[in-house]
A and B are shown apart, each in its own frame.
Chain A
Amino acid sequence: MSIDLQFIYTSFFQILKALPLTLVITIVPLIAGFGIGLATALIRIYRVRWIHRIADFYVSFLRGTPMLMHLFLIYYGIPMIIDKLSERYGWAFQSSSIPILVFVLIAFSLTAGAYMSEIIRSGILAVDIGQMEAAHAVGMSTFQALRRIIIPQAIGAVLPNLCSMFVGFLHGSTLAFTVSQMDILGKADVVASVSLKFLEAFIAAAFIYWGLTIIAERITALLERRVAVYSKGGVS
């Protein structure tokens, strides 16, 4: 077996330059997905008429299909819709002027929203109903109670899940490679193609992802300990 260890080292730093894009593709969808997920979770918990069926379908469909499909559906679907509209109303706007990154972010945000919705829903349902009743008893509205009492506790309860979402989406961001984005994997592929040292470049990329995952897990452990401070239970 002939592995060029030196090349793993040099390519590591070349590939590391693509880290910002990978982080963008990971974090932006998580933030957008949190908003989508919170809205979807509340719609499903309160069974808002008509919309909750759509929300149910959204969550079940996105969780039931590979993330790659979401990426391709958005990547091919949205430009078509834009071009149709543009043709119909005579806009000068063309879908080709939108950077591919935008489609990647939209697709992953929708995916994140579906997974977030389940996580947040489980968190809200885990908060004792008595908390809501107590908030109502002191004169809060349902919205106030949710915002001030329920959601902070729910987030504490689902923190480990949120962090595993981060790791999941960090790994999922590699799919952006299939629509030729220069994330860590895309960069590794370029470095590999230039030098024809595929194995070495992918080993270097693997180490970057592994390192990021370990850092994320450490931060999770720290955060969990902090959250646990407030939920020791008992009276003191």
Chain B
Amino acid sequence: MGKSFDLSLVLDFIPELLRYLHITLIVLGGSIVLGLVGGVLLAVPRLYRIPVLSQLATLYVSFMRGTPILIKLFLVYYGLPELLKPIGIDLSRTDPLLFVIVTYALSDAASFAEIFRGAVRSVDKGQTEAAYAAGMTTFQSFRRIVVPQALIVAFPNMANTLIGSLKDTSLAFSIGVMDMVGRGQTLISATSHALEVYISLSVVYYVIVIVLEKGFAFAERRLQRHERKRVVHKPAIRAKRLKEVVQKVRF
């Protein structure tokens, strides 16, 4: 703080912060891709009720959803080097970026696992039975019949997770990552205009979120273009849809 408030500085800070946007996007992209893979690996044992693996997956998902992202960030930051030391991997000089990507990937995997599980469950069992009747194998019916339908259900939730994850990246600075917020911190040390920096950061995040939301809404309409022919106007279904609108709160 200290110096007087100058709103025009916001315009100077925005381009300066945008130069670090790619770090934020690398964290987001890396963690989402790894999280998707992890999510599938976690969801399958629970869907097919594979003993032991299914219980382990449940425990993992419960822990990941039961602890704050900041704690998970610290656990990975302090824990991963300890974990890898015995097998001869030294992480003491690693870019903290790696820890952030690993944390968000582990965390997103749990969210995606729940989303996939719910989505697959939402596909009518008769669809699988029909596929079997037509002579498909379990794998074929899953891939060709269930997954395409489940993806349409999962898409809005996945989009929400991605946006939540983007907002979570604002915490990466706490372990010393030079992303937009990290750069903001150095700008504050240099200029002592904290409020202006945070206004700039908020504007940048807000614009990215709006762009993503618009993009996802468009993609969702395209995905559902074959679905809309079915008439669903029963109040119960409408209420169910509305419930889905409000997702788990993420910051």
Contacts and interface: CB of A to CB of B under 8 A. Distances in A.
B132 interface: no
A76 interface: yes
A206 B70 contact: no
A176 to B, nearest CB: 10
Contacts of B63: 206, 210
A72 B174 contact: no
Nearest to B72: A206
A64 B250 CA distance: 11
Given A1-B85, A168-B251, A172-B251, A73 B202 contact: yes
Contacts of A68: 170-171, 181, 251
A68 B184 CA distance: 13
The majority secondary structure among interface residues of chain A is helix
A174 B83 CA distance: 25
A202 B69 CA distance: 12
User: What is the size category of the interface that chain A forms with chain B?
Assistant: 35 or more
A1 to B, nearest CB: 5
B13 interface: no
Contacts of A36: none
A66 B65 CA distance: 18
B143 interface: no
Contact of B66 (A66, A67, A169, A214): A214
B195 A158 contact: no
Nearest to A169: B249
A171 B69 contact: yes
A185 interface: yes
A214 B62 contact: yes
A221 interface: no
Given A69-B202, A80-B5, A214-B62, A168 B249 contact: yes
A185 B68 contact: yes
A3 B243 contact: no
B250 A65 contact: no
Nearest to B167: A66
B52 interface: no
16 contacts: A61-B202, A69-B198, A69-B201, A69-B202, A76-B1, A115-B249, A122-B246, A128-B235, A164-B249, A165-B249, A170-B68, A171-B251, A205-B71, A209-B67, A210-B67, A213-B65
Interface of A: 1-3, 60-61, 63-69, 72-73, 76-77, 79-80, 111, 115, 118-119, 122, 125-126, 128, 157-158, 160-161, 164-165, 167-175, 177-178, 185, 198-199, 202-203, 205-206, 209-211, 213-214
Given A67-B167, A210-B66, 19 more contacts: A1-B83, A1-B85, A61-B202, A64-B205, A66-B168, A69-B198, A69-B202, A73-B199, A73-B202, A119-B246, A122-B243, A122-B245, A165-B249, A168-B250, A175-B251, A209-B68, A210-B67, A213-B66, A214-B62
